[in-house]
Structure 1
């Protein structure tokens, strides 16, 4: 199967002057030519760095918004449904992203939603988490947590909240959908910045840790063999690599292609994520990222920007009524030479 028509059909190249197109192709060709050299140079530096459940996220500095004409989509995944072909576009885009630097930084918005005690409107509790993971295994990992408090989730919920007298606190006699109970207040907690020595992050899957970044495969077949798990665990772990781990661009591209090949992953089409950004989405049945106290079945939605290859948000919804329960939205992720939190 020729995957490039998926890129051409979904993201037709804009009209460019010939000299601009030639310069762009030369730049991309040079990046591909240097990829092998970069990977060898970085493998020693990263040999002790493990993958993380907390912290890191998607791609670094995007050098192209559209897969340029003449650049092939990497091959290696088995056939996939047409509705998921945008994952191949994302794989082609992210494979060209440089992935070197002294620090891997990401900013996430994490949120939880639940009904107020009377069930008349939905509340959203959220916070921003900025994380900086060092390439140096002896360095400290830095975090900044900025709570945003609790607010009505949508304009419709805000109208119902106003009609309720605009309360600043709520008393729950029984736990909410996400397990909150007792008195819940709207005001945010204070911002915290701290560092830890737990640089040795791990992703646990199928009962074993993935510890060394340079040992993680960069093909979909290699990832699937490494996970050695059932389909649902394989899908969940591929999602972790995309959203939370500082893996190489080629490994991230392989994770996209693996998702495209997996049964149970269905296309949800064009959507708007929790931060109002447009993207393409896939969904699958899973309780892996659901609140631990939620007892009903849930579906996980992955929202992707195919043009840049960047993951946008991971959303967990009730399978019964579609209520958004929790989410992680990636505002930014990149390699950098300096950590702005260090020394604060």
Structure 2
């Protein structure tokens, strides 16, 4: 069965919105060349004394892992996709039809994490709104706008426990609990910041091979799997991060969906509601890339996809034991444009 047959059987292709049709010619904004730099920035992501979510998101946006944790399953080859994952082929066919145009890749995201208060009585939800504009020009600067949204109880039940605790507006951590790094967490929203940086070098480095152009990225599942290297867990991690964070070509994006559909370890979840309340189709897998796993036990990562546009909606990591949401990136908008609003309004 080819992808378009799957589309006809499962989801008649709807008209694309003008926003979707602006999706464009892409340069892969990429990661730091050394594993040491990648790990240090990922650790800093959630530190109370770190650089904030946007800078850490840039560092962790897309890295082709060259090693996986001990005990990760090692398999080779691909298998036919299970019927439950056929919606990934629908998404692949949808995004493959998008034209490639534009000089800036813009995205608006909400990044967040949840953790228990120092006394372990209730769960707190910390979030930051981030706008990013990545230039197609490899010599250009990447622009960010970061708006910390503060910390609040995660659910009504947690709010009741928070009130019983005296409704505190700050919490002090010593680095030994679920929240990484010592420091004081405050409830009030933080100050908005807008800045540009050169710390993205617009390359992907994997297995010692630098890729300086988007066109260097394979446009087939087999090509991506070979490029990523490693076992199935590495393949799934990298393909999901590419879809969520990187401005790649429509051809490469479609190939990443097909690769996820054929890789063992990826389970279809069906229709779900993401962290922002949006309905989508989801897959789940055991990630080897999240630093949180060592602090809160085993986790499962969920990729939620809009079945109409083929765009990813969110990447959410939950505790495997109780399903508690730990870490997420929710994409509110992603598109190509000819102007960068942050550059004009710094």
Secondary structure, counterpart of 1:54 in structure 2:
helix
Distance 2:126 2:138 in 1: 34
Determine the structure 1 residue equivalent to 2:302.
301
Deviation of residue 176 (structure 1)?
3.0
Distance 1:201 1:191 in 2: 26
Output one character per residue of 1:319-339: Cα deviation in whole Å (capped at 9) or x when no partner. 222221111111111000000
Distance 2:329 2:212 in 1: 23
Determine the structure 2 residue equivalent to 1:61.
none
Deviation of residue 50 (structure 1)?
4.7
State whether residues 315 and 327 of structure 1, in contact with CA within 8 Å, keep that contact through their aligned partners in structure 2: yes
Output one character per residue of 1:231-260: Cα deviation in whole Å (capped at 9) or x when no partner. 111111111210111100111011000000
Secondary structure, counterpart of 1:91 in structure 2:
helix
Superposition pairs of residues 14-29 of structure 1, within 5 angstroms = none
Superposition pairs of residues 122-141 of structure 1, within 5 angstroms = 122-141=123-142
State whether residues 116 and 170 of structure 1, in contact with CA within 8 Å, keep that contact through their aligned partners in structure 2: yes
Deviation of residue 79 (structure 1)?
1.9
1:54 aligns with 2:58: yes
How many positions carry a matched residue from both structures? 300
Determine the structure 2 residue equivalent to 1:103.
104
Q: 1:114 to 1:208 in 2, by over 3 A?
A: farther
State whether residues 177 and 293 of structure 1, in contact with CA within 8 Å, keep that contact through their aligned partners in structure 2: no
Deviation of residue 212 (structure 1)?
2.5
Output one character per residue of 1:292-324: Cα deviation in whole Å (capped at 9) or x when no partner. 762522211111112100001111112222221
Q: 1:104 to 1:206 in 2, by over 3 A?
A: same
Q: 1:50 to 1:329 in 2, by over 3 A?
A: closer
Name stretches of at least 5 consecutive residues in structure 1 with no aligned partner.
15-23, 32-37, 58-76
TM-score by length of structure 2 reads 0.78
Output one character per residue of 1:2-56: Cα deviation in whole Å (capped at 9) or x when no partner. 4445323432468xxxxxxxxx69x9xxx9xxxxxx99xx69xx5xx65357289
Distance 1:291 1:9 in 2: 39
1:11 aligns with 2:11: yes
Which structure is larger by alpha-carbon Rg, 1 or 2? 1
Name stretches of at least 5 consecutive residues in structure 2 with no aligned partner.
32-56, 62-77
Determine the structure 1 residue equivalent to 2:340.
339
State whether residues 297 and 319 of structure 2, in contact with CA within 8 Å, keep that contact through their aligned partners in structure 1: yes
Output one character per residue of 1:256-300: Cα deviation in whole Å (capped at 9) or x when no partner. 000000000001111111111111111111230342762522211
Q: 1:13 to 1:221 in 2, by over 3 A?
A: closer
Q: State the Cα RMSD in Å.
A: 2.8
Determine the structure 1 residue equivalent to 2:64.
none
State whether residues 143 and 196 of structure 2, in contact with CA within 8 Å, keep that contact through their aligned partners in structure 1: yes
Distance 1:136 1:3 in 2: 33
Distance 1:294 1:131 in 2: 29
